[in-house]
Amino acid sequence: MKNLVVLTGAGMSAESGISTFRDSGGLWDTYNVEDVATPEGWARDQKLVTEFYNIRRRELQQVKPCRGHELLASLESQFNVEIITQNVDNLHERAGSTKVCHLHGELMKVCSSRDPNNPRYIETLPPDHLEVKMGDLAKDGSQLRPFIVWFGEAVPNIERAAELSSKADIYLIIGTSLNVYPAAGLIHYVPEDCPIYLIDPKPVQWNSTHRLNHIMKGASEGMEEFIRLIKD
């Protein structure tokens, strides 16, 4: 089977009703990024940050994977599909995708605030207990914090994502502006002879010698066209 490596961003989940962060009307218009998505914000007000992610989890429970998520999952019958996502939701998994590398953490998980990436202290919250409260502790005795890679923190899975990108036979990018590093740098690991497809309704600045096949549609319509193109 050929390796289909997929890099997804906020535009992938936007069709499911998940608020994007950067677009007009997005979460950063409502919240100050420094307050809820940085280690410094956590140090200042753990309660505010904890409640911010409690709200995000409640929102996630109210939405479903979009057609684009489902079409991507369906390709596992034809390709070895490896998804690299900048999204912290679990919509890829809920749609049926089995190999998902989360670059920026996972909303449905919590971890130690003392040692965030230690797998011994990472827990998946059960569907009936998604609220984290002050005083809820990780197994090392520290306050539970969201298992999210905040601004200013290292991205633990970036090396794995680069390795996956380097083995791609087909590379597909969905719903990301390619402005956010280190994820935007992954295209530089893609083999020179590997075709790259981009699904995004907006023009995207392309800084690569690779030829780009830009499908200017949303995630679901774009996935339908992508499947037609690779079948031809």
- What tens digit of pLDDT does each residue of 74-99 get? 999 999 999 999 999 999 999 999 99
Whole-number pLDDT of residue 156: 94
Same domain, 203 and 164: yes
Q: Amino acid letter at 4?
A: L
Q: Is 104 a catalytic site residue?
A: yes
Domain of residue 215, residue span: 1-18+65-104+155-232
pLDDT of residue 31: 74
Looking at the fold, whether 7 and 117 belong to one and the same domain comes out as no
What is the tally of structural domains in the chain? Answer: 2
- The string of DSSP codes covering the chain is --EEEEEE-HHHHHTTTPPPSSSTTSHHHHS-HHHHSSHHHHHH-HHHHHHHHHHHHHHHHT----HHHHHHHHGGGTSEEEEEES--S-HHHHHT---EEESSEEEEEEEESSSTT-GGG-EEPPTT-----TT-B-TTSSBEEEEE--TTS--TTHHHHHHHHHT-SEEEEES--S-STTGGGGGGGS-TTS-EEEE-SS-----SSS-EEEE-S-HHHHHHHHHHHHH-
139 with 27, same domain: the answer is: yes
Q: Which of 125, 148, 171 lies at the terminal end of a domain, its last residue?
A: 148
The answer to whether residues 58 and 89 belong to one domain is no
| Per-residue pLDDT at 28 | 44
Shared domain check, 121 and 44: yes
Q: Are 225 and 174 found together in one domain?
A: yes
The CATH number for 166's domain is 3.40.50.1220
* Predicted local confidence at residue 20, as pLDDT: 55
State the catalytic residue, choosing from 69, 102, 104, 210. 104
Residues 128 and 222 in one domain: no
Asked if residue 181 and residue 228 are part of one domain, the reply reads yes
pLDDT at 131: 95
Mean pLDDT estimate for the chain: 91
- Asked whether residue 82 falls in the same domain as residue 138, the answer is no
Return the pLDDT at 26: 47
What pLDDT was estimated at residue 176? 86
Domain holding 53: CATH number? 3.30.1600.10
209/175 same-domain check: yes
Q: Are residues 216 and 116 in the same domain?
A: no
Q: Which regions of the chain are under pLDDT 70? A: 19-30, 180, 232
